[in-house]
Amino acid sequence: MPVKKICVVVTARPSYSRIKTALTAIKNHPNLELQLVIAGSALLGRYGNAVEFIEKDGFTVIDKVFMVLEGENPTSMAKTTGLGVMELANVFYKLQPDAVVTIADRFETIATSIAASYQNIPLVHIQGGEVTGNIDEKVRHANTKLADLHLVASEDAKQRVLKMGENPSMVFNTGCPSIDLADEIKNNSTLDFDPINKYGGVGSEINWKEEGYIVVMQHPVTTEYKSARKDVEETLKAVYELNIPTFWFWPNVDAGSDGTSGGIRSFREINKPQNIHFFKNMEPQDFLKLLTNSKCLIGNSSAGIRECSYLGVPVVNIGSRQNKRERGNNVLDTVYNKSEIIKSIRNRISAKNIVSENIYGDGKSGQRIANILAETDIKYYKTIMY
């Protein structure tokens, strides 16, 4: 069996956690060769410089694609994507991979899908079939219709991809590689580092060691970017009033990033909150340890739906971003309203019966993905099943 060249395109910090164990498994598989391309905000210091972590983890980056247009508005999102198509078309033309992997649903992932499928390179889509109800959902399903092989993260998602008319022999529920990372942590969950010592960040020296802490991660919701600032202010006010030691993570790039980031910056200048410390980013493993030892995760991160369900961490999920994704018993949904958020956090902190669930994987997804890539004959053409 000849070695297959698998080109994976990572465009943002959170996508890396979603694929990391699969990257390792591809790299180590005797019949696969990994061609890792880092693009978009994963290259930028403003958004956490994921590429540094990736290289520190021992991966060789075969190409870097700078494609983010400044402007942080819907027009620049579209233009970033268009530029991404142009740049990635060059990259795939040179690498001539046997398959290209696009991850999930960020706006620029469709650039990967177009650049590969238009050049008759088989396209693999990771984590299709989920439902979130905004531009991300449109992008995710469009990726599904451009892709030839579908590696989804839950049974629910698999059924949805099949209903969309994909060939059953090309749809696999592999679970999510991010759960593989969570699995390692689950068996070794001690918080063995001091977050502020290790990651710096800005804001107060909070007393998390004695009082415990909560974690906040709130991203702008793309189709409502004007209200991003108002939304984050509700969360900020709630967390400020609760006065529990808090680790707060800056949002990643997206239209409206300025709304969310701007809201946070203003709030800091005016209120100088004594109970909040801010981080730009953290190595995925450390982030999961931080979550496992926290009282509660607040915001709209998909980590609350996926990893925290597996880890049994309480979550307050705010707003529509995670809309119809399958949830475990750990999640309490609420809206962008200070009092509601406070009430929900109190509920979660005192919840007793939160248990681990396997909805998004069993800890072996990365290896499963590599095996399917090695064993499946992926064509670059297909037709709808009905």
Indicate whether 341 belongs to the interface with its own copies (CB under 8 A): no
Out of 118, 243, 335, 362, the residue judged to bind its own copies by CB under 8 A: 118
- The vertex-354 CA angle with 349 and 355, nearest 5°, equals 150
Indicate whether 272 belongs to the interface with its own copies (CB under 8 A): no
What does the alpha-carbon distance between residue 26 and residue 331 come to, in Å, rounded to a whole number?
A: 33
Q: Which is nearer to its own copies, 69 or 372 (CB)?
A: 69
What does the alpha-carbon distance between residue 221 and residue 251 come to, in Å, rounded to a whole number?
A: 11
Indicate whether 81 belongs to the interface with its own copies (CB under 8 A): yes
- DSSP one-letter code for 133: S
What are residue 315's DSSP bridge partners?
297, 331
Q: Hey, which residues between 159 and 178 contact its own copies (CB under 8 A)?
A: 160, 163-165
Distance set, CA 258 to CA 71, 109, 236, 262, 318 (Å): 9, 21, 16, 5, 19
Helix (H, G, I), strand (E, B) or coil at 203: strand
* Interface characters, 194-223, with its own copies (x: CB under 8 A): --------x--------------------x
**Least distance in Å: CB of 11 to its own copies?**
13
**Least distance in Å: CB of 188 to its own copies?**
33
What are residue 278's DSSP bridge partners?
202, 248
Q: Which is nearer to its own copies, 165 or 362 (CB)?
A: 165
Q: 272: Cβ–Cβ under 8 A, 6 or more apart, which residues?
A: none
Angle between helices 74-95 and 109-117 (to 10 degrees): 40
Query: Which residue stretch of 84-92, 180-188, 273-281, 326-334 sits at the interface with its own copies (rule: CB under 8 A)?
Result: 84-92
Using the structure block, give the residue that is written with the tokens 């979603």. 18
- 25-47 in b/e form (b: 16+ CB < 10 A) is bbbebeebebbbbbbbbbbbeeb
Out of 5, 27, 61, 82, the residue judged to bind its own copies by CB under 8 A: 82
**Least distance in Å: CB of 336 to its own copies?**
17
Q: Hey, which residues between 18 and 47 contact its own copies (CB under 8 A)?
A: 41, 43-46
Indicate whether 380 belongs to the interface with its own copies (CB under 8 A): yes
Q: Which is nearer to its own copies, 248 or 310 (CB)?
A: 248
**Least distance in Å: CB of 310 to its own copies?**
25
Residue 263 half-sphere exposure toward CB, CA atoms < 13 A: 22
What does the alpha-carbon distance between residue 102 and residue 99 come to, in Å, rounded to a whole number?
A: 10
Indicate whether 115 belongs to the interface with its own copies (CB under 8 A): yes
**Are the C-beta atoms of residues 251 and 220 closer than 8 Å to each other?**
yes
Cα-Cα end-to-end distance for the chain: 33
Sign of CA dihedral 332, 336, 342, 345: positive
Q: Which is nearer to its own copies, 73 or 285 (CB)?
A: 73
**Least distance in Å: CB of 71 to its own copies?**
5
Query: Which residue stretch of 13-21, 69-77, 209-217, 273-281 sits at the interface with its own copies (rule: CB under 8 A)?
Result: 69-77
What does the alpha-carbon distance between residue 199 and residue 279 come to, in Å, rounded to a whole number?
A: 7
Indicate whether 77 belongs to the interface with its own copies (CB under 8 A): yes
**Least distance in Å: CB of 264 to its own copies?**
14
Out of 269, 352, 353, 375, the residue judged to bind its own copies by CB under 8 A: 269
Q: 269: Cβ–Cβ under 8 A, 6 or more apart, which residues?
A: none
Indicate whether 61 belongs to the interface with its own copies (CB under 8 A): no
Q: How many residues bind its own copies (CB under 8 A)?
A: 70
Indicate whether 371 belongs to the interface with its own copies (CB under 8 A): no
Q: Which is nearer to its own copies, 1 or 384 (CB)?
A: 384
Q: Hey, which residues between 122 and 151 contact its own copies (CB under 8 A)?
A: 131, 133-135, 137-139, 141-146
- Per CB under 8 A, residues contacting its own copies are 41, 43-46, 63, 66-72, 74-79, 81-87, 89-90, 93-94, 107, 110-111, 113-115, 117-120, 131, 133-135, 137-139, 141-146, 160, 163-165, 202, 223, 258, 262, 269, 323-324, 380-384, 386
